[in-house]
Amino acid sequence: MSEETALGSICLLIDSVQHTRNPKLASVEPGSVKGFYMLAAFCFDAARKMEYMFKATRQFAEAADPALAREVLNDNEAVKKAAGRDGDWQKTAEALETIVLRLYNQVGEDHDRLLRRIAAGETRS
């Protein structure tokens, strides 16, 4: 698979939403069983798309940044440790929130700057 094919595959797998044109929030009552399953469906759908992303980009794994790979492994271990043997969902969510906030603090400003630069039509100098 070429880089172009991998990018095209990623493009196609990302833009789909469950029950696409139907309103989401208005269709459920917060805290209801239906609301729970809607949230679960969106979470599983996001996880499914990440698995497809792996399949689309697998050929590039050997070129990955070792430091980033170590960070991912360390974060995975931190989440596993927080969850404990019984798989405590609250502790899992709290550990993941901590990681997401750390990552956002690392990349958020850079991402925003790049997004705005590219949207303005600016290219590398």
Mean pLDDT of the region 7-11: 88
- CA–CA separation, 59 vs 3, rounded Å? 9
Query: What pLDDT was estimated at residue 36?
Result: 95
Helices 66-83, 89-119: crossing angle, 10 deg rounding: 150
Q: DSSP strand E in 25-124: where?
A: none
Average pLDDT, the chain: 92
What distance lies between CA 50 and its chain's CA centroid?
A: 7
95 CB neighbour count, 10 Å cutoff: 18
Say what percent of the chain tops pLDDT 90. Answer: 75
Tens of pLDDT along 23-68? 888 889 999 999 999 999 999 999 999 999 999 999 999 999 999 9
